[in-house]
Amino acid sequence: MVTKQFKGSPEEAADLRRADSLAREIFSDVANKWALLIIETLGERTLRFTELRNGIEGISHKMLTQNLRMLERNGLVERSVHPTVPPRVEYTLTEPGRGLRATVDGMCDWTHRYLGHIEAARDLFDA
């Protein structure tokens, strides 16, 4: 992802490569539709597991937990467990998570703005 030109010591160079590979790793984690849909659905609210599941059309139990763990690991969502019975687990966007959400909002806006363009382009292409 856009490694800048620079002059520096070999150690600095190694650091930059490390940062870049990390950046790429994060990007790969985050740039998948389920993760982005979770981020978008969480929005400003805090939701329970099942609410989230119902809010995201077509996501499976497994994909939801799997992506939630991943997002939690990267510190984008916070998981809070209420030790009641039945258990109540809530998910909330952290500050970094909300930062990402802003850009996802942008993607959603973009999608709606260009719905027409894209549909037309498809019709043309498919002919």
Partner DNA sequence: CTGAATCCGCGGGGATACTG
Partner DNA sequence: CAGTATCCCCGCGGATTCAG
By CB under 7 A, name the binding residues for DNA: 32, 34, 48-50, 53, 58-63, 65, 68-69, 79, 81, 86-89
> Residue 65 interacts with a second copy (CB under 8 A)?
no
Residue 86 interacts, among DNA, a second copy, none and using kind-specific CB cut-offs from 5 to 8 Å, with: DNA
CB of 59 to DNA, least distance (A): 7
Nearest Cα to Cα of residue 37 among 1, 62, 88, 71: 71
Distance CA 58, CA 79 (A): 22
Rounded Cα–Cα distance for residues 30 and 32 (Å): 6
Whether the Cβ atoms of residue 20 and residue 1 lie closer than 8 Å to each other: yes
Tell the smallest beta-carbon distance from residue 26 to DNA (Å).
16
- Residue 60 · residue 50 · CB < 8 Å: no
Q: Any contact of residue 111 with a second copy (CB under 8 A)?
A: yes
3 state DSSP class of 91: strand
Residue 63 binds which entry of DNA, a second copy, none, with Cβ cut-offs from 5 to 8 Å by kind?
DNA
Quick one: 15 or 88, whose CB is closer to a second copy?
15
Shortest distance, CB of residue 89 to a second copy, whole angstroms? 16
Residue 76, number of CB atoms within 10 A of its CB: 25
The tokens for 21 are 């590979």
The contact set with a second copy (CB under 8 A) reads 1-2, 19, 22-24, 26-28, 30-33, 36-37, 40, 57, 72-76, 96, 99-100, 102-103, 106-108, 110-115, 117-122, 124-126
